[in-house]
Amino acid sequence: MTEATWGDATKTPDIDWTMSAALENVVRGGGDVPEVTNLRAAVVAWTTLDPEHRDKATLSPERPILLDGVAVPVFHGDAIAALVERLPA
């Protein structure tokens, strides 16, 4: 029998940066057009936005991301900034 182990790693497992994600509520080419790409590229694209658009942006990964034991299905503002801090080098 295998014993379950619980710790910090289970609260925030590795993020799959290759999953699909949509960066929405940002102006592209004069219109509000979502960018559908991988999670890493969407988070990096968010960092290039001006502060007003960063505040309005919505990041929707293809499935919820587990952060600190909580499954987060959609990210806004500071929550996206938290993903920036977790980007792999």
Find the domain containing 56 and state its range: 16-86
% of the chain residues with pLDDT over 70: 80
Residue 4 within a domain: no
Residue 3 within a domain: no
Tokens of 68: 């600190």
3-state secondary structure of 19: coil
> What does the pLDDT read at residue 7?
53
In total, the chain counts a number of residues equal to: 89
Residue 60 within a domain: yes
Q: Which of 23-27, 29-33, 51-55 has the lowest mean pLDDT?
A: 29-33
**pTM for this model (two decimals):** 0.81
Q: Where does residue 77 rank: exposed (0-12), middle (13-18), buried (19+ CB within 10 A)?
A: middle
Whether 38 has a pLDDT exceeding 90, the answer reads yes
Question: Rg for the chain (alpha carbons), in Å?
Answer: 15
Tens of pLDDT, residues 61-79: 999 999 888 999 999 999 9
Residue 31 within a domain: yes
